[in-house]
A and B are shown apart, each in its own frame.
Chain A
Amino acid sequence: MSELNPNSLRARHRDLEVEVAEAPDGGSGELRIAVPSRHARALLGRLYEEESTKARRLVDLTAIDRWGPGPGVVGPRFEVIYRLESLQLSAALRVHAWVDEGETTLESVTGIWPVADWLEREVFDLFGLVFKGHPDLRRLLLEPGYVGAPLRKDSPLGGSRGTSGVAGS
């Protein structure tokens, strides 16, 4: 369903070190764009503003932890995923922001999409990633005194207290 041109997206956002998929996903029709987390906010702002993308709708925001037993993570540990949609263009984008384990802070997108408020709080709560500029970043689902980030892969299923070393809980 996407009318977006991967080549023009690649050229337009070259300065933000984007990697754009060749074609949209078969099932969802979402075109995948990967970007380092330090450029994520800038890219998302452009995708919202620019006439060629008009991503006015933030459909969902979540994260993936790539950590695993064995050789460990190859490349950055986390990905924060922004699912965007342009109603006018009837096109969908999926931005994957790579987050290195050492710098788990991203810029908040609540200023662009109000709906990001709870979504970022949820990722903060369950993955321990921090969103700078969020108006009210605190736990959403877990109790305020909880220590840990349960959706991290090094948090065991039964629950662990303090193994992830998440600050700010």
Chain B
Amino acid sequence: MSGAENTEEGESLSERLGFAETIIEFGPLHPGVRHVMTSVGGSASFLVELDDDRITGLEVEIGLAHRGFEKQVESGDWAAALPYVSRLGLASGVLAETAYCLAVESLAGLALPDRAIWLRMLVGELARVSDHWSRLGATMAAIGLQEGARVAATGETRAARALAGATGVGPLEGYVKVGGVSRGLADEFAQGWPTMAVRLMDELEHFERVAVSNPTCVRRLRDVAPLGVEEALAWGVTGPALRAAGSSMDLRRDHPYLAYGALEFDVPIGENGDGLDRLLVIVEEIRQSLRMVDQCHRLLVSLGPGRVLSEAAGPGEVALARGEVVASVESSTGELAFLLSSDGTSRLRRARCRAPSFFHAQAMPVMLRGARLDDLLPTAALLHLISAEHDR
């Protein structure tokens, strides 16, 4: 498509034609527009410098959805922070809630009931499946593979339904609480999961047939926006994008929190760190997450109903120790951590969120130098930039 390589040595197309380099602006778009959000990073704005259709410079502008949420959290009671934390993602809000609650529980010396630990893993993995489907859908839309986008949308809907069924509440309603979770496994989910699991797995296999093994998809994503392990680490890239580069870093396995140490799962890794490897890692992670949900479901059914929230876990009942704690989880995007600093009062001195999208947005210019303009959208989609994450 590009004629840039065919021009005389050292002369770019724009030079040959006597044009100045083109600079175009992508975005911003409203962060609430979901699929648009996942394909172009929502409220992030891209300033792209082009020579013909080659990207010669890229500036990612963030801050357009800056909520000041860390300031909000530091201005109220620790319990009042949760609604802000939930909104770090839609499906993946439960993963952010888990990180925040683990940090508060660590300051409070609060132990979790067994069921709450397994429920947090169950909903966390379902949220990952939903998020992963959403990035697959956005990627397919970005490369124009409508059939793939359609299958991904079905997969995402099924996963979101399963998540709502398991939690009994909608997204953003704060399922994960300090001291546990807000309710036990819904009966309907306990009985219905085996059927749902089969359907979700069917959808994944369907996607592999129409998208992953589709030559167009392979051609369109291979060698796109490559990122090696060293570079990925230097820029703080984590999650599927880092694993696609060949690193097996995964907090669930390396520093098992909750009860991940008791779960069986594989950590898929790529070789080239390009768009295709990212896609393959994400697809395989859906399969692994479904495996984990199965194991959590089985254990929870065998435990039966019981306590899911610690006693005395309310705002007035929990005393926070002085000092700093860090709690990290493997979110669907990468390493999501809360650093909390407490003076021993109910108001946190500092609540810092290390959110993976922030780091991925910063790494995009490195990944896309010399890429084609067409590669910007699939790359943003596979990275799954979440605006609430790169703003504070």
Across the interface, do A141 and B66 meet the contact criterion of CB distance under 8 Å? Answer: yes
Convert A66-85 into 0s and 1s, putting 1 for each residue whose CB lies closer than 8 angstroms to a CB of B.
10100000000000010100
Query: With contacts A30-B326, A83-B339 known, is A142 near B63, CB below 8 A?
Result: yes
Whether B392 contacts A118 by the Cβ 8 Å rule is no
Cβ B236 vs Cβ A122 within 8 A: no
Interface residues of B in 332-349 (CB under 8 A from A): 335, 337, 339, 341, 343, 349
Q: How large is the interface on B (under 10, 10 to 19, 20 to 34, 35 or more residues)?
A: 35 or more
B-contact bits for A114-127, CB 8 A (1 contact / 0 none):
11011000100010
Q: Say if the beta carbon of A87 comes within 8 Å of chain B.
A: yes
B339 with A60: CB separation less than 8 A: yes
- Interface residue stretch chosen among A8-16, A21-29, A36-44: A21-29
Q: Are B233 and A141 in contact (CB under 8 A)?
A: no
**Is A4 part of the contact surface with B, judged by Cβ < 8 Å?**
no
Closest to B231 in A: A114
Given A56-B233, A83-B339, A150-B68; A126-B328 close (CB under 8 Å): no
Bound-complex Cα distance A65 to B70 (A) = 13
Q: Is A115 within 8 A of B326, CB to CB? A: no
B335's contact among A59, A113, A150, by CB below 8 Å, is which?
A59
Pairwise interchain contact A58-B325, C-beta atoms closer than 8 A: no
B339 pairs with A62, CB closer than 8 A = yes
The yes or no answer to A167 lying at the interface (CB within 8 A) is no
A25 contacts B326, C-beta separation under 8 Å: yes
Q: Indicate the member of B359, B391, B392 with the most A CB atoms within 10 Å.
A: B392
Interface contact B63-A59, CB-CB below 8 Å: no
- In the complex, the answer to whether A151 meets B325 with C-beta atoms within 8 Å is no
Cα A25 to Cα B75 in complex, Å, equals 26
B-side interface mostly:
mixed
B337 contacts A151, CB within 8 Å? no
Contact of A57 among B233, B324, B328, B341 (CB under 8 A): B233
CB-CB under 8 A from B343, the residues of chain A are 68
The contact of B325 among A28, A64, A90, by CB within 8 Å, is A28
Beyond A58-B236, A141-B63, is A118–B354 a contact (Cβ under 8 Å)?
no
B71 touches A60 (CB 8 A): no
How far does the alpha carbon of A3 sit from the alpha carbon of B324 in the complex, in Å? 21
Give the number of A-B contacts (CB < 8 Å). Answer: 86
**CB-nearest residue of chain A to B76:** A157
Q: Kindly state the separation between the CA atoms of A117 and B254 in the bound complex, as whole angstroms.
A: 27
Bitwise interface map of B from 97 to 140 toward A, beta carbon under 8 Å scored 1, else 0: 00000110010000000000000000000000000000000000
Min distance, Cβ B322 to any Cβ of chain A, angstroms:
12
Residues of B with C-beta under 8 A to A89:
none
Cross-interface CB contact of B236 among A32, A59, A140, A142, cutoff 8 Å: A59
Are B234's CB and A113's CB within 8 A?
yes
Q: Verify if B78 is at the interface (C-beta below 8 Å from A).
A: no
Interface string of A44-64 (1 = CB under 8 A from B): 000000000000111110101
Taking the complex as formed, is B352 at the interface, i.e. its CB lies under 8 A from any CB of chain A?
A: yes
B249 at interface (Cβ–Cβ under 8 A)? yes
Of B72, B352, B359, the residue contacting A157 (CB under 8 A) is B72
Return A85 CB to nearest CB of chain B, in Å: 9
Q: Which residue of A lies closest to B237 (CB)?
A: A115
Q: Which of A83, A141, A151 contacts B391 (CB 8 A)?
A: A141
Q: Are B350 and A64 in contact (CB under 8 A)?
A: yes
A96-127 vs B, CB cutoff 8 Å, 1 = contact: the mask equals 00000000000000000111011000100010
In the complex, A58 Cα to B354 Cα: how many Å?
Answer: 12
Whether B70 and A115, one on each chain, are in contact in the complex, defined by CB atoms closer than 8 angstroms, is no
Contact B72 A81 (CB under 8 A): no
Cβ–Cβ < 8 Å partners of B235 in chain A: 114-115
Cross-chain contact A64 with B349 (CB below 8 angstroms): yes
Q: Nearest 7 pairs between A and B by C-beta?
A: A141-B63, A28-B326, A115-B236, A60-B354, A27-B106, A64-B350, A62-B352
- 11 A-B residue pairs with Cβ-Cβ distance under 8 Å, sorted by A, are A26-B106, A27-B106, A59-B335, A64-B349, A81-B352, A113-B234, A115-B359, A118-B358, A126-B392, A140-B63, A143-B63
